[in-house]
Amino acid sequence: MNTIISNKDEIIMSLVHYFVTEENYTPINVQGAQNEIWLENLEGPYKIVRINSKYIHNLEQYKLDLLRMNFVIKQIKKKTLSLKMNALNICLDLNNSVDLKVEDKNINTINVSDISDIKKNKILSKLFPKITTNNFSKTDNFDKLIHITDDINRKTAKENIKYEEVFKPKPIIITKIIILLCIAMYIVSLFIEDDFTTALLILGANNRSLVLAGGYHRLIVSSFLHGSLLHLLVNMYSLWIIGSQVETYIGKWKFLVIYLLSALMGSLFSIVIYENSLSIGASGAIFGLMGSLLYFGYHYRLYLSNTLTSQIIPIIILNLILGFTISGIDNAAHIGGLIGGYLATMLVGLKYKSSKSEMINGGIVYTILVVFLLYVVFKLV
């Protein structure tokens, strides 16, 4: 079947097809947007690509359009927690009298009035090298529309499969095992000695002097000990709620690594800050799981909508504030666990998101921080 495709429609189809299938951009919904398409890739040379088919006839209208575009970009920045966001503004119907030198520092505007202009444009060819080898040919064949639509649908289907694989419910195993271990350790602590504090010391409570005396196991074991039934119940409830999410999103073995590395970092922070106190409890590791959710939420923020800013971050801030205002809470372990969980998640990586270099950087930063904390502990002797 043959039909006539307008010049604008052909350019729009070709550009959307290229950016979605070759550069991994995702169409985003912008409220009130008409005759324009917004694409987003936070890892791309331009985080935002906007294809605007509206006719801009003079400089005043162009400046107003940039102002509106800036407003939309600010909203996207808030949603994605981006400090800086550059955008490529592709105009398809721009009057030749409009001076493109009048631009916003974060918005680069180019004029594409014909399908052949795509490859010729220096900005596009420099930042998107694959565009020079793409087949942007003029045609009036309706089959081109079908082909482009099929390609985009296949790409979207692949992305949906990845999304479903990450977010689909999975059996919770490691979280349950850790909860059972914590319960078992609490029961043992009730019967191992008449004095409860002595029992905790024997089992592995965290303390700077005892760690320096060779009790390095305390840095991990202390996260499985609890000082009261209420302490145990609160932590186990938190662990079940947060741990179930992290284990589902990241996987059971990566979850275990994150939990243990968070506990280690939290314990190191604790003995750096507190000299003589005993530190016990899973809360440092639980804060590590919050740090893991923070890292995950940032990388999957396009899928989680406003969950990162409306739930994850407020919960972390609220718990840290409670730690500073209520006596007897080891907030150093909480902060250390939070940092450790974030770095540990960076180290083990997120499926479909993390690169090898990013994982290596996470391992390096985590190791450097652990070595530094150990150095500080031994210098305090």
Tokens 């985590």, residue located = 366
Q: Give the CA count within 13 Å in the CB-facing half-sphere of 184.
A: 7
Burial code of 315-325, b = ≥16 C-beta within 10 A, e = fewer? ebeebbeebee
Q: How confident is the model at residue 22 (pLDDT cuts 50, 70, 90)?
A: confident
Percent of the chain at pLDDT > 70 equals 90
Return the CATH superfamily for domain 174-379: Rhomboid-like (1.20.1540.10)
Expressed in angstroms, the distance from the first to the final Cα of the chain is 83
Q: Is residue 142 scored above 80 in pLDDT? A: no
Active site positions, annotated: 283, 334
Measured CA to CA, the distance from residue 331 to residue 327 in angstroms comes to 10
pTM: 0.78
Q: Please, what is the average pLDDT of the chain?
A: 86
Three-state DSSP state, 140: coil
Choose the most confident range, by mean pLDDT, from 13-22, 224-233, 310-319. 224-233
Q: Which residues pair with 279 in a beta bridge?
A: 206
- Are the CB atoms for 334 and 288 separated by under 8 Å? no
Which is more confident, 16 or 184?
184
Of 7, 51, 8, 16, nearest to 33 by C-alpha is 51
For tokens 């940092």, what's the residue?
339
Whole-angstrom Cα Rg for the chain: 27
302-321 confidence digits (pLDDT tens): 677 667 777 788 888 888 88
Provide the residue ranges of all domains of the chain, joining segments of one domain with +. 7-167, 174-379
Who contacts 222 (Cβ-Cβ below 8 Å, separation ≥6)? 204, 205, 206, 263, 267, 279, 280, 281
Which ranges of 274-330 would DSSP assign to H, the alpha helix? 283-299, 301-304, 307, 313-325
Q: Residues 3-12: what's their mean pLDDT?
A: 71
pLDDT band for 1, please (50, 70, 90 cuts): very low
Residue 206 pLDDT > 90: yes
Whether the predicted pLDDT of 63 surpasses 80: yes
